[in-house]
Amino acid sequence: MTADHRDAGWPGGQVQTHLFLLAGHRAGGSHAEALSDAHRYGLAAEDAGYAGVWIAEHHFISYGVCPSATTFAAHLLGTTRRIAVGTAASVLSVRHPVSLAEEAVLLDELSGGRFRLGIARGGPWVDVEVFGTGEDRYTGGMADAVEILLRWMSGAATVAGNSRFPFRPVQVVPRPRRPIPTWVAATSPATVDLAARHGLPLLLGLHADLDEKRALLARYAQVAAEHGRDGSRAPHGSVHLAHVEDTDMAAARTVRDELPGLLAGTREYVRLDGTRGGPPDIDAYVRKLIAEHPVGSPRRCRAAVAAAAALPGVRHLLFLVEVTGDRATTLRTIARLRRDVLRG
């Protein structure tokens, strides 16, 4: 791999490969074990030669037991030396943008520029009730939060609030010395449009297939152009499930058997109206993921990764490898994905 961590095997040598870590909890395990395992996977990613690791953030559900991606990122940055570490994503609906921006600047400085900030609107979950931000922050607060966040990280000496976040001008301390790479997790046209207006690249999720991702990327390019920005320069990221075994059949069987145990945690989402989240048919969703993502033999996985890398503007592929909940199996997947697929 070249010095800037690009993977020469993909189009133009411009696509970087990363891990996407959930820290998912399984029946029979503990939350502490889930967090410890995720940290170990981050260390393994550096040893294997991945460009980076991105940490998911969730509240009150076992699908992912990390409630603060920035805190996890800080710990992983402190125990690694080379890889980038990002948040995928820090949820703005339950955070004050100045607080998050301060943490981003701090992590950027302490890590020597290895921190990556991913932000998300979040969902209409009970989270906004618990943290007191309210449903309006979810439905209408994203644009104002992003505006404050970006001004704080712009290098300005002082920043004042806006109508949603009113505060007098204050000093930016610590003041960032360089731009902090920032991505926006997007599943809706409105969030795509917001990212495009600011020229922020997208993080595209696991659930969307390649056609859906192409449509979001095309919309991004159109809106960016309408605002005088060159959308082709945005280094978008895309999340994909990955599991490698000797044969397609064996890999598919493992994912069918083991992944539903992790995805069951998504049914713990509680909407503000009291209804539950998660896919209505987990088994059908798993079959869809197997068909669309790099799950199978090295040959099948290479073809799936190449198709993902060909998405217009995608420069970062993030691989979810926590399929089985077994640490040894996941560590083997991390090594084999890198060795037999991404370098093969």
State the Cα–Cα distance between residues 104 and 167, nearest whole angstrom: 20
Q: Write the CB contacts of 44 (distance below 8 Å, at least 6 apart in sequence).
A: 331, 334, 335
State the Cα–Cα distance between residues 244 and 300, nearest whole angstrom: 9
Six-digit token pair at 89?
């994503």
pLDDT digits (tens, 9 = 90+) for 93-136: 999 999 999 999 999 999 999 999 999 999 999 999 999 999 99
pLDDT digits (tens, 9 = 90+) for 209-263: 999 999 999 999 999 999 999 999 999 999 999 999 999 999 999 999 999 999 9
Angle at which helices 210-226 and 189-198 cross, to 10°: 40
Domains and CATH numbers, the chain: 11-342 (3.20.20.30)
Confidence of residue 4 (pLDDT cuts 50, 70, 90): very low
pTM: 0.95
Instruction: Show the DSSP H helices in the chain as ranges.
Output: 31-48, 69-79, 97-111, 127-130, 135-140, 142-152, 189-198, 210-226, 248-263, 282-292, 298-309, 327-336
Q: What's phi and psi for 190, nearest 5 deg? A: -65, -40
Contact 67, 331 (CB under 8 A): no
pLDDT digits (tens, 9 = 90+) for 128-138: 999 999 999 99
